[in-house]
Structure 1
């Protein structure tokens, strides 16, 4: 990888740009970093630290149906993922959000690793986990 290369963003198509923006702002701490006006709407960039989401308004109503942790089809993003230090606290605050799977414990792989999957206003699966960390034996 080039030394000048770094992560940029994930782009999401949204049926309701306002609802999707509010979801990521309220539940994951994103803020509006830029909006680009188009003839038929706008593109909104949300930022949280070094992570950006690029939101596109879309009139299409096609949903990709997959498993509770996201669509399994090659070439389709399975889910977005966020980490928290307090999954139970997040779940208390987010009790109104639709949970598609979990919470599940992955103690057999990594003690203390737990995850829950929910969906955003457009049906994109979002994972929230606690306790995951790199394997120090293989991390570079």
Structure 2
């Protein structure tokens, strides 16, 4: 269930620049279950919207060079997104289902010292955008969070 803020605010989408829209669409469709939701063409440009449940990705074609090289878990440059992240039930099963098509940039790593059962791997899409895939993440309780106030 998605809960909207009192003013109706809710998540919309992430816009991604990509060199090859088809390759990027295939990557997110094949490995993350996204499907084409809409294509908009105007002034010779095409924007492809992908959807998986309430999550949308908006793909823009570009021939620009990357500003920053991606690190193992994403660029650390201010003003840039570090990575996209998705939850799965089992990181190892996710990687196995990819049949060797996803080369980890980092991990899989276990973070049991923080959250029992939390495990993460990072991969990159065709344009070098780092994608984190995790299992077992849970929020802290309200009481635990209050100690950081």
* Fold shared per TM-score above 0.5: yes
2:83 counterpart of 1:85: no
**CA apart distance, 1:18:** 0.2
- Distance in 1 of aligned mates of 2:70 and 2:94: 25
The answer for unaligned runs of 5 or more in structure 2 is: none
**Equivalent residue pairs, number:** 139
CA contact (8 A) 1:105 1:112 kept: yes
2:140 counterpart of 1:135: yes
Find the counterpart in structure 1 of residue 101 from structure 2: 96
Q: Which moved more, 1:6-15 or 1:31-40?
A: 31-40
Q: Which moved more, 1:75-84 or 1:37-46?
A: 37-46
| TM-score of the two chains, using structure 2 as the length reference | 0.88
2:59 counterpart of 1:17: no
CA contact (8 A) 2:70 2:129 kept: no
- Distance in 2 of aligned mates of 1:98 and 1:88: 13
| TM-score of the two chains, using structure 1 as the length reference | 0.93
Misfit runs of 4+, over 6 Å: none
CA contact (8 A) 2:72 2:105 kept: yes
User: Could you say what secondary structure the match of 1:19 adopts?
Assistant: helix
Find the counterpart in structure 1 of residue 79 from structure 2: 75
Instruction: Write out aligned runs for 1:26-105 (5 A).
Output: 26-94=30-98, 95-105=100-110
- Distance in 2 of aligned mates of 1:117 and 1:62: 19
CA contact (8 A) 1:63 1:123 kept: no
CA contact (8 A) 2:125 2:131 kept: yes
**CA apart distance, 1:2:** 4.3
The answer for unaligned runs of 5 or more in structure 1 is: none
- Distance in 1 of aligned mates of 2:102 and 2:44: 30
CA contact (8 A) 1:15 1:61 kept: no
Indicate the structure (1 or 2) with the bigger Cα radius of gyration: 2
- Distance in 1 of aligned mates of 2:8 and 2:36: 25
